[in-house]
């Protein structure tokens, strides 16, 4: 049976044109490559600390 409140939660506000600029400035999304890069760098730093 359709649960109104549950289904309603799935509806989020849509972006308006006036909000596009802010949305772009707020865009700090990293893709998978950058995330993996960060993970590799962190692992390297931890290894260097262990060696010391």
Residue ranges in contact with other proteins by CB under 8 A: 1-2, 4, 7-8, 10-11, 13-17, 19-20, 23-24, 27, 29-34, 36-37, 40-41, 44
Beta strands in 1-52 (DSSP E): none
Residue closer to other proteins (CB basis): 7 or 50:
7
Tokens of 47: 């290894």
Q: Distances from the Cα of 7 to the Cαs of 14, 15, 49, in angstroms?
A: 16, 20, 50
Q: How far is the CB of 6 from other proteins (least distance, A)?
A: 11
Q: Which is nearer to other proteins, 9 or 50 (CB)?
A: 9
Q: How many angstroms separate the CA atoms of 22 and 16, rounded?
A: 11
């Amino acid at each position: 049976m359709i649960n109104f409140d549950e289904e309603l939660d799935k509806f989020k506000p849509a972006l308006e044109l006036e909000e596009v600029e802010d949305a772009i400035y707020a865009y700090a999304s990293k893709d998978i490559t950058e995330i993996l890069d960060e993970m590799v760098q962190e692992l390297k730093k931890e290894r260097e600390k262990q060696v010391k």
